[in-house]
Structure 1
């Protein structure tokens, strides 16, 4: 944590003992939970839903880059077109406040192990609200415009399903695998189709579907250590003990021999980070992208009292050499982040960099 827990708790106590209102009590507890600096952590109450995030949603997705929010996708094309919102629109103000101003006001209540994940989680907080309409200032084609947009209760957005190819072969015989849709039963066909490629790019900017063991077994020739944990000693609060090393892979002389490239970003969290660790055991692997969510391992969730739900990371996850992953995440070998211009041009700059590396080794 950025601040010792004892100090954080002491600072929060006045807000618990004598809150100015019921709403303020909820906010005091949420601020304390945010000080865990844990991307698994959250505080969920009906009061916070209505007074912090809000029950009305925008029908498009945004990403915060350089203190501005750029539209990256649509949840419902019809509703997005109704307000003439387009991918690449750069939102500079929301309801009269700059994105930077809103972040300054609200980030102390937003959970996250590190800054990129706090910004990821801030998108909902910035754009949700109680009212059906909101005002945005945005830039399109170099022109700044102010307009009103609609917000909806979530069920009325009718989020469109996203169908992605599980794998494909790109130019220059480079394989590409999307972990969003890949399932365990797909692995034999994937191996047959990609075994002769010169490189495989695994897109891990998502939450995989339990394919870690099968993929790690394919890219390794033998069993390897890849992780170890710390567990709390429930007989001695504050004490932890080390687990043994955990292994992945098995004897496989027909293992994949090409380059292995894994894409990560702030959406790579928990099991996705554990998956990245398992793939890092390959003899010729490179991680490309940006800092991951830094919340590996399991989640301890419980109800504090009726109507107050919370969670936090329950174990420590480390590499075999005891290098930690909590808050740090999976460190890229080559750092690449999306840019405002890249999004506007419809480019995936992280994937582009991976393809360049697959071709040139640089």
Structure 2
């Protein structure tokens, strides 16, 4: 009797499990993944034989009606069957000389998703084993500034937040772009599958335009990539506003320190001074305000995200706001004005030399100012200095490889690049050739090479720092860099929604990572509030000290 009872209990549990209700989020998450997978793997879809967006719109009502796993799987199986027979097309064996990178490749979900029947999983497995091998209709390497690109994506009219189909399409496109073609997916804080499940309800059931737009912004920030963010004109209204202050700040110890004045006359109206420490905005601490902003601020690491947060912290749509601030150890509260950008009439930057020789025979080069044609004369006049300080804290001009020809006795490898394997979406491979800098030069510079970096050292700036690091006597001084080396690919998700991310991986020659980590300083120097108040450049001061005594 006990055995019979146990048998019926097991049978009942299997039936209950098989026909358990499933949520809309579960169904839409699985559909997003299947839709993207078929887009890049199914031979007829990847070949462009169908209007794949329309196929999504057609199947969504059927998916919405599915009440359990069996009904859901049946809808998806019929969807796949209607695409036609998948011919046997087993890919050629991998080239053993090819250096493949599989950290991002994971199709286990096709076999393990709780919504999939065994029959559906088998269909997906067969498609993987016989995946499309031709020129994909939706992605190629024929771009100009950045070779990798998404193509043949209908833009539609301006996306209205009230159109659920277009909201879902916007999310589905972006999620799958990242799933198969973002080289640093494996470095993200949150699993990409979990990010989809978290954001989906805010897209599928948006209660307002603001909720939809900020959800699209938030999921792009989850890439943890300083290059990655989604933009929409109305979205920026919600994030910041159209009016600006007459000052600029830096965040030091979770406090906003005024470090620049954009317009002297406007700053005098509010009695603002460099060195004022702002601790609250409209009664909210700056630290709290920053934490609220960071989920919408792109950054491979916290310092990079904070740098971007500083740009919108004080913007808004009102004419004024209240701040609490500290000056001369006295805490005060007052109103601060905001202005349209055109009214601020920002003061032009002060003229300063592109390069110069400082006291103690130390060269100082602003890499964001020196043009290529100036490099030969500059290096000739600096060749007898005891040290050259290369400042890479702002985006450099394209002089890095040329400068390195004067710093190295021979060519040196700088980095190796990681590219998408378009024949196997989600897999990557290292380029056969490493990027190099320098040349045979017996008369190379023999003094100390000092490289200044901080969170403003971003992308090409990080590559510049890597090239300067190859010098025989190089030292990096400063703080954590942006952590987003590699080409930044700007693309349109759908009309009105522009986005971007790092489209090729950049590693040191030994495959040491740079993404999120950045260029690690040999000597770490972080600005202090006192230093900012005194107008000091503490990183440069530390570099001068090192140039003189090597410590």
Return the TM-score normalized by structure 2. Answer: 0.65
Equivalent residue, structure 2, for 1:334: 523
**1:13 paired residue among 193, 200, 207:** 200
CA contact (8 A) 1:164 1:178 kept: no
CA distance in 1, matches of 2:229, 2:244: 19
| Structure 2 residue aligned with 1:62 | 249
Q: In the alignment, which residue of structure 2 is the partner of 1:324?
A: 513
Unaligned runs of 5+ in 2: 1-187
1:227 maps to which residue? 415
Matched, 1:31 2:189: no
Quote the Cα distance in structure 1 between the aligned partners of 2:343 and 2:370: 29
Structure-1 residue corresponding to 2:379: 191
Residue 325 of structure 2 aligns to a residue in which SS? strand
Please state how far the C-alpha of 1:99 moved relative to its aligned partner: 0.5
Q: 1:265 aligns with which of 454, 459, 479?
A: 454
How big is the shift at 1:101?
1.3
Aligned residue number for residue 428 of structure 2: 240
TM-score, scaled to structure 1? 0.98
Q: Secondary structure at the match of 1:128?
A: coil
Task: Output the CA distance in 2 between the equivalents of 1:146 and 1:60.
Answer: 17
CA contact (8 A) 1:292 1:330 kept: yes
- In structure 2, the residue matched to 1:213 is 401
- Where structure 1 has 5 or more consecutive residues not aligned to the other structure, the ranges are none
Structure 2 SS opposite 1:327: coil
Q: Secondary structure of the residue that 1:9 maps to in structure 2?
A: helix
Equivalents in 2 of 1:90, 1:308: separation in Å?
A: 36
Larger radius of gyration: 2
Paired position in structure 1 for 2:477: 288
**Aligned equivalent of 1:346:** 535
| Partner Cα distance (1:164, 1:157) in 2 | 23
Match of 1:106 in 2: 293
Q: CA-to-partner distance for each residue in 1:254-287, whole Å, 9 max, x for gaps?
A: 1111000000000000000000000000000000
Equivalent-residue separation in structure 2 for 1:169 and 1:82 (angstroms): 39
Alignment of 1:49 with 2:242, yes or no, is: no
Distance in 1 of aligned mates of 2:264 and 2:380: 37
SS at match of 1:73: strand
- For 1:118, what is the secondary structure of its paired residue? helix
| In structure 1, C-alpha distance between the alignment counterparts of 2:270 and 2:369, rounded to whole Å | 30
1:143 equivalent in structure 2? 330
1:164 and 1:181 in contact (8 A); partners too: no
Secondary structure of the structure 2 residue equivalent to 1:230? strand
496, 501, 515: which one pairs with 1:312? 501
Deviation at 1:33, TM superposition (A): 0.6
Write 1 or 2 for the structure with the bigger share of helix.
2
Asked if the contact 1:110/1:118 (under 8 Å) is kept, the reply is yes
Matching residue of 1:78: 265
**How many residue pairs were aligned?**
362
In the other structure, the counterpart of 2:347 is 160
Partner of 1:269, secondary structure, is coil
Distance 1:79 1:293 in 2: 32
Shift of 1:152: 1.5
Tell whether the 8 Å contact from 1:265 to 1:290 is kept in structure 2 after alignment. yes
Residue equivalent to 2:274: 87
What is the alpha-carbon distance in structure 2 between the residues aligned to residue 266 and residue 242 of structure 1? 27
Aligned twin of 2:363: 175
Once the two structures are TM-superposed, the CA of residue 164 in structure 1 deviates from its matched residue by 2.6
CA contact (8 A) 1:295 1:329 kept: yes
Deviation at 1:161, TM superposition (A): 2.4
For residues 275 and 368 of structure 2, the distance between their equivalents in structure 1, rounded to whole angstroms, comes to: 23
